Amino acid sequence: MLISEFARATGLPVDTIRFYVAKGLLRPERSAKGGSNPYQVFQHDDVTAARMIRLQQTLGYSLGEILALNEEYRSGEHSPERTIEVLQKQIERLEKRRAALDAALSFLRGKVDWIRRGKPDAVPRLEDYQC
């Protein structure tokens, strides 16, 4: 698929896709069409790769870390043990984010409840929650 179709398939802006390609995070094939500026042709595996990049970014991975993981995967050097290690790290990051989100939600719900009760006592303090 060409870049516009790939953008629709991934939900990413074309500029983001071009940025990922420039950084080596995505490696589309080059077609014979397009002369000195050949078309970039993306495969279904590239859609999966783009979604993984976005997931890793939401987990707090830097682009350098994502590139290193992608290079390791592309080179075939990943073992089941290494894959488990990487996935476990991603699970840990998600669990930390979930805990922070749960704490933030508790704070906000407490504040709403406090307002609904007519602000009867001290305002809930964000410091009292592990956000």
Looking at residue 43, which CATH number applies to its domain?
1.10.1660.10
Domain range holding 117?
Answer: 79-131
Q: Give the chain's domain count.
A: 2
Give the Cα separation of 18 and 33 in Å (integer).
18
pLDDT digits (tens, 9 = 90+) for 63-118: 999 999 888 888 887 788 988 998 898 899 889 989 999 999 999 999 999 999 99
Do 64 and 13 share a structural domain? yes
Give the Cα separation of 101 and 105 in Å (integer).
6
User: What is the pTM (predicted TM-score) of this model?
Assistant: 0.69
CA distances from 7 to 24, 28, 36, 63, 110 (A): 17, 13, 23, 19, 41
Element (H, E) at 40: strand 40-41
Out of 55, 78, 101, a domain closes at: 78
Do 63 and 36 share a structural domain? yes
